[in-house]
Structure 1
Amino acid sequence: MGEPMSAILLPGQSVLEELEIEPSRVRQIKPPWKRSHYQSAVNWITKYEFDAKGTDNLNKLRGYLEAFFALCATEDWEKAAKFLTIRLNTPNHEEWHNQLEIWNYYSEQIEVYSKLVSKLGDDFDAFCFHGLGYAHFALGNYHQAIEYYQQELAIAQAGNDRKTTGKALSGLGSVYQRLGDYAKAIDFHEQHLKITRELGDRPDEATALGNLGLPYRSQGNYRQAIQYFEQALALMQAADNWRGKEVALNNLGGAYFFLGDYPKAAEYFEQALAITQTTGNRERQGRSLGNLGSIYRAQGDYQQALDYHQQHLVLAQEIGDLAGESDALSGLGNTCYAQGNFSQAMHYHQQDLRIAQTIGDRPGIASALGNLANIYQVQNDYDQAIEYYQQQLAIEQAIGNRQGESAALGNVGTVYQSRGHYPQALAYFEQSLAIGSQIEHREGQAKALGNLGIIHYLLGNFEQSAAHFNQGLSIVRDIGDRAEQGRLVGNLGNVYMALGNYSEAMNYFEQALSIAESIGNRLGQGKAFGNLGTAYLTLGNYSRAVHSFQQQLDLATAISDREGEASAIGNLGIVFQSLGEFTKAIDCHHANLQIAQTIGDRASEAHALGNLGNMYQSLGDLTKAHEYLEQALSLSREIGDKKGEAALLGNLGIVHRVRKDYAKAKDYFAQHLAIAQDLGSPHSQAIALYNLGLTFRHLGDFQSAIECYQQSQKHYEDLGIQQEWVNVLNNLGVMHSLLKQHNQAAEYYKQCLDLARSTNNHDAENLALGNLAGAYLQLGQNHHAVECYEQQLTLLRTMERSVEQGKVLLALANTQFRLKNLRQAIESYCQFLVWIILVGFGFLRRS
């Protein structure tokens, strides 16, 4: 038949003797219905066999379960209760009803305990209520768990049973922690701790201390949590309690993990793993392996992470630990997701979901749904992503998990953000923040503030964006979360980049890099190098940009971060394009495109196509540029990326403007503006209005051009984006010059000059001085024109722009001649002749 029941179950005769059941006397039992049930119990105890290699864990206990139910049917409640104390041939010799818990068969536990309620008095009812409370807690039935723990507490308090009172209080504390009501959780655990100290129960005191640390850890008060975990560890070490030490070490590892101190977290998890290997507790060994896998994933060492999660999976499958198998599959899926291997991630998370549904683990179901939604979102299947996130949200709300509800609301918001539906995203992030603040979940508050910062950044509300990032940064610094601190510092750098404050941006990017290096976060290092590369690119320091992007690429390749690879290669393409190395640029953009298509990242695919379009526009191949941009536009529309669609419409408008097809250009820019208005993005509106202004200028409609420029200027002024604002002011000056309104033109050029100088924008300063000199000449204010030309000449010499100096020298000489300042004019003409000899001939030959 297979392996006999003695492999895990006690010999049938031993069980019958312990239960005081004599098979030969069963025939004498009356009435017949009772005799029949006794005989059934005897048969299940003595004759049930199973194939250990071909059955799940539940079937290993099927004989005992059926025997128990048969004894209940006889209404011999004492024997049924006594049967629960039968121990198994497992390493820890657990009572079989506890083994159901270890193997995650909570529904069967509920059925067992429910049979015995109200059958053997209050004390036994308290025992059953505790078991029922834990089983419902494990299944995510939190409110039912509270009811059972409260019934246990009432019985214990009525009987002045202090130890049982403490157990009930501990159970209630654990449920309220999961519900996100940390104040109540702390109160219950503190009451339990007080009782254990009054009783002098050191093992229970250690348990209470460990439990008390958990709500503090959930709140983000990691230092306080660590103090409690360390006290628990000390007590467990003093008592030489190996299981308790392992739990405390894992708790400490978790706290340091959330702090972003990955080396220290790994140290504690390694110690916990060593204990489980010594004690032979394979279920706990799997948990420690999974924890180590999470550490390596957070650090960007994906291969190591996969190895640990795979070990956890194999171990869980060998011992039939379904909950552990679910956790391992989740870890594998999250690691593959981080690598950009979305199809494999989907496979693991779908398996995880099936197991969670099989064992009725509602928190596990919610987690798996959220993970699947993450994949659909990155693959731009936004409808499917929202459906899964909404299911996740519904479960979290149904079980009353406020922390989970806050996270799920944030997840829904990220989909609307990806779609460019910023007002909806903003509403979800604000709901997420409100819950996080209400339950004092500081990590959740910081996450929501970070999301709000990103939305305001995308909307171009940079001051609000920076304010949210700084609020989040204050929280994570306070709780010591280094990993999140690095992310928020990097985000602040992006805000300062958008505001044109490049030195401050660089400072933040350097801080982000330093933090990532200090905690061994290679993924964070790669992102920081990418941000630094973008800053160097913007500043025109192409060699440093290439160096930074190459470091980003090397890190991404080392940790198999395909998204990071694609980003770095695309950025290198932009640098090579700026350097005029078009063949290299095209190769990079094609490589970026190939990776995006391979991993199924359609938003990145559209971005790569857009880069190729821009590349061919720079080469003057407008046909190819138009072709790639149209492909990118089609893809952006297909995936519902409104922000990307708006940008591509703008790029297509530029292509048509270069072709001098101004009517089509105007149509594309108008579409860009309409989407930007729908999105509520003032930054995108400012760009579209500026481009419309340029187009109206080419169409000769100067008044419409001025109106567009003025609206664009208002947006840039409100947003504080000075490097763009200065360009609009210059163009407004040009429009008034064309309309012969030279006084107005001069005023705009002055504003442009002041702003350029305040932002240290030498290119804009040079342009403004030249245009202002021209306006003064038209107004007959030749002295002012001379001053402008002299300042412009000094600036060009500082900038080492020798080619442009000739034109300014000639204009200065001519103006001085008009003023009859002949000596100065002769001097300037002589300088111009020297310029021709030293610079001009070479320039003319090259031209």
Structure 2
Amino acid sequence: MTNSNTPSQLLVSRLEINLDEVPIEQLDHYIAVENFLNDEEELPRDADNLKKVQKYLEAFHHICEVEDWKRAIAISSIRIFFNEELHNQLFSWGYYPELAELYNKLLNTPSPELNTTFLYGLGNLHYAKGDYRQAIDFYDKCLKESQGIKDFQTVGAALNSQGLSHFRLGGYDKAINCFQQRLVIAWENNDYQGEGAALNNLGLLYSTQGKYRKAIKYQNRSREILHIIGYRSGEGNALGSLGTSYAGLEGYEKAIECQKKYLAIMQEIEDCLGEGDALGNLGTTLAKLNRNSEALEYWQAALAIYKKIGSRSSEALILTNLATLYQILGDTKLAYECCVQALAIATELDIPLANECQELKKILELIYKVNHKYPNVLHEMQQGTAN
């Protein structure tokens, strides 16, 4: 007997589809929706996460075909894993193409409140991929619409994420302005999650400027708030930021401790981008301790995740780190290959990392030119990267 308490059965009840009242030309789509949601076939244990939610996505696409937006939104917001709505869970798992399709179908629905959610989601999607300018455009649209309906929680979230996008592009003044506005809105609306996020991002900015003790003060406060309210993802991010700041003060053991806690949380909640970031941070800290083989292992693990989910800017950063490490290890050819790959991605995304990659490329080329033992290697490398 089918368990009526399963998420899909509860969703069927919530959708309240009466096939007798459905127009004949739409009947096939509604029947398909019910068939997919009533399918309780047990998946293999090793089924990937996308398989676990495939029937919901199929139902969603059928309901969109008849432009039944109320029910489409209900499907997209079902909570199945980690108490996350389906669209947010797709983001955490790193299924960016599927999520982009979902958001684009729901965009410009009749509900202004929900439209801001989808604009914000598209901004987050572009941010995760490293397309920061496109992310800022979506956050701008989200801000205008959410301000118009006085949705201050979404206003605050969009400001925070917009600040992060400016930060990644090197626009620190714009970033700090966004974070400070976000903090004020959080205080005015008793939004503890927003307060924690804003404090963490202010700390991140101060850490980048070398103000590590000030950064730690903000990040510790952020971690405390987010831990108290049980926001695991935010707590993890704060721990990662703390680790970076401690490393700046050469407190490497404490930095590693924070990054490992960050990694554990991201793995627990199955946040792929966060897991990649935690692995990357651990690699960076270990490289500063000259524990190069361990750093290499963590960076390669991070790179695999970034490639899988399509986080291009993060991929470029790890490739740059690997290029520097391979240079230190004496494998200049492999260093050059990583550098050229990173440069191509950073140039395509038009991010500041491109300048760093360009300088590193010049250094690596110079090394080959002065190395009389291998006079043809530079030419071979350039030919190889062109193919």
State how far apart, in whole Å, the 2-side matches of 1:380 and 1:282 are: 36
Tell me the equivalent position of 1:200: 190
Tell me the equivalent position of 2:349: 399
Q: Deviations over 1:421-456 (max 9, x none)?
A: 7xxxxxxxxxxxxxxxxxxxxxxxxxxxxxxxxxxx
1:58 aligns with 2:58: no
1:105 aligns with 2:55: no
Correspondence for 1:142 among 120, 132, 150: 132
Distance 1:245 1:171, change over 3 A: closer
State how far apart, in whole Å, the 1-side matches of 2:257 and 2:281 are: 11
Correspondence for 1:29 among 22, 27, 33: 22
Asked if structure 2 preserves the Cα contact closer than 8 Å seen for 1:50 and 1:59, the reply is: no
Correspondence for 2:310 among 360, 364, 382: 360
Report the residue type matching 1:329 in the other structure: A
State how far apart, in whole Å, the 2-side matches of 1:165 and 1:219 are: 27
Task: Decide which structure has greater helix share.
Answer: 1
Asked if structure 2 preserves the Cα contact closer than 8 Å seen for 1:236 and 1:244, the reply is: yes
Asked if structure 1 preserves the Cα contact closer than 8 Å seen for 2:280 and 2:318, the reply is: no
Correspondence for 2:63 among 64, 71, 76: 71
Matches within 5 A, 1:111-510: 111-236=101-226, 239=229, 243-269=233-259, 272=262, 276=265, 280-281=268-269, 283=271, 291-292=281-282, 294-301=284-291, 309=298, 329-330=301-302, 352=304, 356-367=306-317, 369-370=319-320, 378-381=330-333, 389-402=339-352, 404-420=353-369
Q: Deviations over 1:789-816 (max 9, x none)?
A: xxxxxxxxxxxxxxxxxxxxxxxxxxxx
Q: Deviations over 1:246-276 (max 9, x none)?
A: 43222111111233321231343455567x3
Asked if structure 2 preserves the Cα contact closer than 8 Å seen for 1:156 and 1:162, the reply is: yes
C-alpha displacement of 1:115 = 0.7
1:14 aligns with 2:2: no
C-alpha displacement of 1:177 = 1.2
C-alpha displacement of 1:142 = 1.6
Distance 1:17 1:328, change over 3 A: farther
C-alpha displacement of 1:118 = 1.4
Tell me the equivalent position of 1:629: none
**TM-score (normalizing by structure 1):** 0.40
State how far apart, in whole Å, the 2-side matches of 1:375 and 1:303 are: 10
Asked if structure 1 preserves the Cα contact closer than 8 Å seen for 2:96 and 2:125, the reply is: yes
Distance 1:255 1:361, change over 3 A: same
Report the residue type matching 1:379 in the other structure: D
What secondary structure, in the 3-state scheme, does the structure 1 residue paired with 2:375 have?
A: helix
Distance 1:109 1:227, change over 3 A: same
Larger radius of gyration: 1
C-alpha displacement of 1:163 = 1.7
Q: Deviations over 1:438-493 (max 9, x none)?
A: xxxxxxxxxxxxxxxxxxxxxxxxxxxxxxxxxxxxxxxxxxxxxxxxxxxxxxxx
C-alpha displacement of 1:104 = 0.6
Report the residue type matching 1:418 in the other structure: I
Distance 1:110 1:328, change over 3 A: same
Asked if structure 1 preserves the Cα contact closer than 8 Å seen for 2:103 and 2:118, the reply is: yes
What are the ranges of 5 or more consecutive residues in structure 2 without an aligned counterpart? 380-387
State how far apart, in whole Å, the 1-side matches of 2:294 and 2:369 are: 36
Distance 1:229 1:409, change over 3 A: same
Distance 1:375 1:295, change over 3 A: closer
Q: Which has the higher relative contact order, 1 or 2, with Cα contacts under 8 A spaced 6 or more apart?
A: 2
Percentage identity across aligned positions?
Answer: 33
Report the residue type matching 1:200 in the other structure: N
**TM-score (normalizing by structure 2):** 0.83
C-alpha displacement of 1:153 = 0.3
What secondary structure, in the 3-state scheme, does the structure 2 residue paired with 1:119 have?
A: coil
How many pairs does the alignment contain?
373
State how far apart, in whole Å, the 2-side matches of 1:406 and 1:35 are: 57
Tell me the equivalent position of 2:37: 45
Distance 1:49 1:360, change over 3 A: farther
Report the residue type matching 2:343 in the other structure: L
C-alpha displacement of 1:35 = 0.8
Tell me the equivalent position of 1:841: none
State how far apart, in whole Å, the 2-side matches of 1:372 and 1:303 are: 11
